[in-house]
Amino acid sequence: MTLFASLFRRSSCSVWPVCALALAAALPASAETATNAAPAVYELLHSFDVWDGYNFRHTLVIGDDGRVRGGDGRAFRIDRSGDGFAVLNDFTKRRLGRWPQGQVLASDGKYYGVAAEGGDLGGGTVYRMTPGGKVTLLHAFDPNSTSAGNPHAPLLEAADGAFYGTTNGIVNGPCGSLFRLTRAGEFSVLHPFSHDPGNGCTPDAMKLTQARDGSIYGVTEYGGAFDRGTIYRWTRSGAWELLYSFGAHGQGSHPRSGLVQGADGAFYGITIFGGEHDTGMFYRFDPNTLTASFLTSFGAGGPAPVQPNGELLLARDGLFYGTTMYGGKNESGTVYRVTPAGEMTTIFSFPGRGTQQSVMPMAGLVEGRDGEFFGTTETGGEFNHGTLYRLKLK
């Protein structure tokens, strides 16, 4: 096992754009050729000091009021200009849960999320939060039950009005579960994950996706035939299916984002290992043939993006955007853009360490209505506890 694999194994620490994706046949390309041909304007909006946020692994949310919101460590809100930062709930009441792990804005105008720890049973919680920060407990996980507890992934509000999510389980224990929860608090485990080669293990922080066929698709970081990750499906008829095992020779392994469905019906995602340099790949998965095409290898260093992490974003321009923890001009991480055919471009390199700027993004990007992107970093900033930044393409 590589050093990075040991660090990330069992880590603690749908609306689709209306656009046509022009898919072209292309040979796999290496991200080592990526350039800064389309530079972006970067602005640091806020430096976190631990007391107002930390542990940034989840994509931000833009509320109905246009403000940017986050739910990692603390629930906070900030104006798009960077003014008006406020902690809405600090999750110090253990019964409500500790270590919130990202939020989603639901159709009722409220925010729903999970906390990895705490609750009455100690296995984490699911909660509902008003725009003003009032939290209501919906479910407490029992880590000793089939649900396994320790949720990390954001919830999915499905077409049936219920929320679907995953738990992570515990180190050297259960591999987590897929669950369903109604707004009234009715909870059910749909599928327990396990170390069995025909199952998945450790969905980690990766989101679920409801496809146009109504089925719910997800990935696990481990499990499958090679214990290097899987793609699975929960069908409309209520059946769990293993669709694909990562890790065969020459392929990517250990997915690090949920699946994003393109206009062609295929799914796109990233892995953190595998490829030409064993530093990750961008891939396409066909749900009809159950085959994966690995389109691009992330680079080995220098200006190229290295070790992708965080959710992949399909933006309004029909292209995919994401972040890497390493690589770039300063070896402090990048924002990259990639076409459906796999042509990758580095659009921003984060400033180097010691600059009091953003360093090492572990979360994906969210796109505002005006095309600006917002994201967070794990470290950097005035207090070296992470930042919130804005990025606008020139």
Same domain, yes or no, for 236 and 271? no
Task: Kindly state whether residues 131 and 234 are assigned to the same domain.
Answer: yes
Same domain membership, residue 372 and residue 319: yes
Confidence of residue 172 (pLDDT cuts 50, 70, 90): low
- Tell whether 17 is covered by a domain: no
Question: Are 277 and 375 within one domain?
Answer: yes
The residue that leads in pLDDT, 313 or 20, is: 313
Statement to judge: residues 372 and 393 lie in one domain: yes
Q: Lowest-confidence range among 13-22, 198-207, 377-386?
A: 13-22
- Shared domain check, 217 and 353: no
Mean pLDDT for 107-135 is 95
Is the Cβ–Cβ distance between 338 and 322 less than 8 Å?
yes
Residue 241 lies in a domain: yes
What is the rounded average pLDDT of the residues 368-378?
94
Quick one: pLDDT at residue 44? Answer: 95
- Beta-sheet pairing, 291-297 with 29-30: parallel
Q: What is the pLDDT of residue 93?
A: 87
Is residue 15 one of the residues assigned to a domain?
Answer: no
Average pLDDT, the chain: 88
The answer on 267 and 313 residing in a single domain is yes
Which structural domain range is residue 118 located in?
91-204+207-255
Residue 6 lies in a domain: no
Residue 199 lies in a domain: yes
Please tell me whether residues 211 and 319 are part of one structural domain: no
- Buried (b) or exposed (e) across 138-168, using 16+ Cβ within 10 A? bbbbebeeebbbbbbbbbbbbeeebbbbbbb
Residues 75 and 138 in one domain: no
- Nearest-angstrom CA–CA distance, 299 and 40: 20
pLDDT at residue 29 above 80? no
Phi, psi of 235 (to 5 degrees): -80, 165
Q: Is residue 59 located within the same domain as residue 158?
A: no
Q: What is each CA distance from 81 to 50, 70, 182, in whole angstroms?
A: 21, 15, 36
Residues 6+ apart with CB under 8 A from 313: 59, 260, 320, 321, 322, 364, 365, 366, 367, 373
Residue 29 placed within a domain = no
Residue range 350-379: mean pLDDT, rounded: 90
CATH number where 128 lies: 2.120.10.30
Angle of CA points 217, 391, 327, to nearest 5° = 75
pLDDT tens figures, 44-62: 999 999 899 887 999 999 9
Instruction: Name every residue whose Cβ is closer than 8 Å to that of residue 81 and which is 6 or more positions away in sequence.
Output: 45
The angle formed by the CA atoms of residues 105, 112 and 190, to the nearest 5 degrees, is 115
- Asked if residue 265 lies in contact with residue 21, where contact means CB atoms within 8 angstroms, the answer is no
User: Residue 300: its pLDDT value, please?
Assistant: 76
Query: What average pLDDT score do residues 141-148 get?
Result: 90
- Closest alpha carbon to 331 in 362, 353, 357: 353
pLDDT band at 223 (very low <50, low <70, confident <90, very high): very high
Residue 14 domain-assigned (yes or no): no
Tens of pLDDT, residues 314-351: 999 999 999 999 999 999 999 999 999 999 999 999 98
Rounded Cα gap, residues 68 and 61, in angstroms: 6
Number of H helices, E strands in the chain: 1, 34
Task: Show the tokens assigned to 378.
Answer: 């794990």
pLDDT (tens digit, 9 = 90+) per residue, 246-270? 998 889 999 999 999 999 999 999 9
Specify whether 334 is located in the same domain as 380: yes
- The token duo for 149 is 């507890």
Do 244 and 316 lie in one domain? The reply is no
Tell me how far apart the alpha carbons of residues 127 and 97 are, in angstroms, rounded to a whole number.
Answer: 8
Number of domains comprising the chain:
2
Task: Tell me if 105 is assigned to some domain.
Answer: yes
d(CA 25, CA 343): 11
Residue 2 above 50 pLDDT? no
- Band the pLDDT of 69: cuts 50, 70, 90: very high
